[in-house]
């Protein structure tokens, strides 16, 4: 009897382990907007000089993007107003936080600056304040990422804010990995443009938005 009862129990236990193994292999795929490698650029700040400071405000964006799930245009009907909110393909944090973190580190890297967005700055310590607004971010699987941004840069110790804008269309391959990589490239190009406007403002350029 012991031998007869053992087999069904063992079989059931083995099936449970198999199901547990399958369950553990499924779940959302997470993506980051941060650059996978440091950009091959020479920082603006020279070695040995006092670093500049930047302060990036929370990114203003439409409510539909304030979530970790990817929001994409319907495949096959990219011109339709309908979108898909993908539960199985997510940013590693809310899209607003992901974009802000990626931009802050990328802009600071390009300028050789210190990002005091989260650490704060000492009283009397001048910084360049950056405010970004996302106007469009349309991701179409296997096609492109269309994005538009406006931003202002202002020295905390003087002068009014200077406004700039940028529109991009980044082609992407098939699959959601390619879509996330396209979004990374859009973010990197935005960081290039904002860093350029901060440098131009510092140099008292008459055209700080000519990136």
Reported as a single tens digit per residue, the pLDDT across 43-56 is 444 434 456 889 99
Domain ranges of the chain: 43-202
The DSSP string of 7-41 is HHHHHHHHHHHHHHHHHHT-S-EEE--S-SS--S-
Q: Where are the alpha helices (DSSP H) in the chain?
A: 2-24, 95-111, 176-202
Note the CATH number of domain 43-202.
Answer: 3.40.50.10610
Say what percent of the chain tops pLDDT 70: 73
Average pLDDT, the chain: 80
What pLDDT is stored for residue 157 in this prediction?
A: 66
Whether 74 shows a pLDDT value over 50: the answer reads yes
Which tens digits make up the pLDDT trace of 119-147? 776 676 788 999 999 999 999 988 999 99
User: 54 and 198 in contact (C-beta within 8 Å)?
Assistant: yes
pTM strictly above 0.75: yes
Q: Can you name the residues that pair with 150 across neighbouring β-strands?
A: 133, 165
Which tens digits make up the pLDDT trace of 167-205? 999 999 999 999 999 999 999 999 999 999 998 888 876
């Amino acid at each position: 009897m012991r031998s007869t009862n053992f087999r069904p129990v063992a079989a059931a236990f083995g099936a449970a382990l198999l199901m547990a193994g399958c369950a553990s292999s499924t779940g959302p795929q997470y993506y980051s907007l941060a650059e996978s490698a440091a950009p091959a650029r020479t920082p603006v700040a020279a070695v040995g000089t006092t670093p500049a400071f930047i302060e990036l405000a929370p990114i203003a964006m439409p409510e539909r993007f304030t979530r970790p799930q990817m929001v994409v245009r319907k495949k096959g009907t990219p011109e339709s107003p309908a979108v898909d909110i993908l539960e199985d393909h997510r940013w590693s944090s809310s899209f607003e936080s992901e974009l802000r973190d990626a931009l802050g580190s990328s802009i600071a890297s390009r300028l050789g600056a210190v990002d005091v967005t989260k650490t704060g700055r000492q009283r009397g310590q001048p910084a360049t304040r950056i405010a970004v607004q996302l106007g469009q971010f349309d991701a179409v699987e296997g096609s492109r990422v269309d994005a538009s941004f406006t931003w202002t840069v202002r020295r905390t110790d003087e002068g009014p804010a200077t406004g700039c804008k940028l529109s991009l269309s980044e082609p992407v391959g098939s699959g959601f990995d390619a879509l996330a990589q396209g979004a990374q490239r859009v973010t990197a190009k935005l960081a290039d443009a904002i860093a350029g406007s901060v440098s131009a403002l510092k140099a008292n350029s008459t055209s700080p938005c000519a990136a």
